[in-house]
Amino acid sequence: MSLPIIDNLEIWEVTEDILLIHQKKVPFLFSCCDGLLILPKEARNKKTIALDLNIEPKYIKNLNDIYGPVSNYVCTHAHIDHTSHVYAWEQLGVNIHAPTPEANYLLDLRNFYRGFGFNETLEYSTIEKFGKINGFHNCNYINSFKSGETLKFENLVVETISFPGHSRSHVGFLIPKEKVFHISCLGFDKPKPEIDGFGPWYGFKEASISQYIEDINQAESIFLNYAKFLTSSHSYIVKNPDTTPFEYMRTKINENQKKVDNALKISNSSKLSEDEVVSQLLKMDIFFPKKKLKDFLFEIYSLWESWIIRKHIQRSNQFK
Ligand SMILES: [Zn+2]
């Protein structure tokens, strides 16, 4: 199949009728994620289906002109890089699906604010600015499903796989017949084999490192046993039996643990409370160089990093 050339988009064939789409330049760091287009195939689906393809509205329109009409769109979880432009699919008449309870976060940014616990430390105006810089707009209606449920669009079967270490509703997609496994935002974020990203992301109160490690193990077993191709929200396509994604994610978590353990050694923290240790380590900028960040971004990054640090401190106490 010859692929269209659209400025600022990369389009890869995962199989002959499943495409992985990536927007190259983005308005802000958390405004887009890569996703899949399942093109029509006889006896499977007459209309195209989009899986977690959150890119700017003009590109959504381009793709819909070429491959549409798109009948259904499935979102994997409600972090803003997966929700900001979903409204543009909805405006084209696409049915939007998302896992509960995060499905509600697409309807109102205040649900996102409260749902992820930002309200415990930040003003709503901080999250409003964050939504705006990433192009977020509300959707009007979401069909919600339970993480782990199997979805069917005409004869296309999409199994959703629950990966709650990242966020409580977070799912991957297994398309068993096509042997395609999309692990979504699990943490394989290498744009190219030679370039590293941040790795697994657990900068929220509800995220869990031990659950994360279970999710990675489960994803590896699904990939090796049931899939030929692995895709994710921020990376290149991997072919079975390449286990790079899983080794990368485990290594990143171990490296993060080492960063926190080393910082604990030099911070002389034995007499301090956990909160005091977290704020001391936060000032050391061990994960994000926050000094250059201004107002609302400084606040958001500090909140994320404080949870990453806290989870590693708890983990290191657990193994003492
Ligand atoms: Zn995410």
**pLDDT tens-place string over residues 77-131:** 999 999 999 999 999 999 999 999 999 999 999 999 999 999 999 999 999 999 9
**What residues contact residue 289 under an 8 Å CB cut-off, 6+ apart?**
none
* Diameter of the chain measured on Cα atoms: 67
Sign of CA pseudo-dihedral 9, 10, 14, 20: negative
Q: Which two tokens stand for residue 42?
A: 């006889």
Helix (H, G, I), strand (E, B) or coil at 256: helix
Q: How far is the CA of 76 from the centre of ligand 1 (A)?
A: 8
Summarised one tens digit per residue, pLDDT across range 40-53 is 999 999 999 999 99
DSSP classification of residue 4? P
Phi, then psi, of 299 in degrees rounded to 5: -65, -45
Q: Find how far residue 32's CA is from the centre of its chain.
A: 10
Taking the alpha carbons at both ends of the chain, their separation in whole angstroms is 56
Residue at 64: amino acid letter: N
CB-proximal residues (5 Å) to ion ligand 1: 79, 185
Q: Find how far residue 101's CA is from the centre of its chain.
A: 16
pTM assigned to the model: 0.96
Q: How far is the CA of 203 from the centre of ligand 1 (A)?
A: 10
- How far apart are alpha carbons 84 and 30 in whole angstroms? 9
Q: How far is the CA of 189 from the centre of ligand 1 (A)?
A: 11
Summarised one tens digit per residue, pLDDT across range 257-301 is 999 999 998 887 778 889 999 999 999 999 988 888 878 999 999
Cβ(203)–Cβ(308) below 8 Å = yes
User: Which CATH code of 3.40.50.2300, 2.60.40.10, 3.60.15.10, 3.40.640.10 fits the domain covering 9-245?
Assistant: 3.60.15.10
Peptide bond between residue 57 and the one before it cis (omega within 30 degrees of 0): no
Q: Which two tokens stand for residue 304?
A: 């994320």
Q: How far is the CA of 272 from the centre of ligand 1 (A)?
A: 32
Q: How far is the CA of 170 from the centre of ligand 1 (A)?
A: 8
Domain boundaries, the chain: 9-245, 252-318
Q: How far is the CA of 43 from the centre of ligand 1 (A)?
A: 33
Q: How far is the CA of 185 from the centre of ligand 1 (A)?
A: 5
The strand pair at 35-38 and 18-23 is best described as antiparallel
Rounded to the nearest integer, the mean pLDDT of the chain is 95
Q: In sequence order, what are the beta bridge partners of 38?
A: 18, 49
Mean pLDDT, range 12-26, rounded to an integer: 97
Helix (H, G, I), strand (E, B) or coil at 85: coil
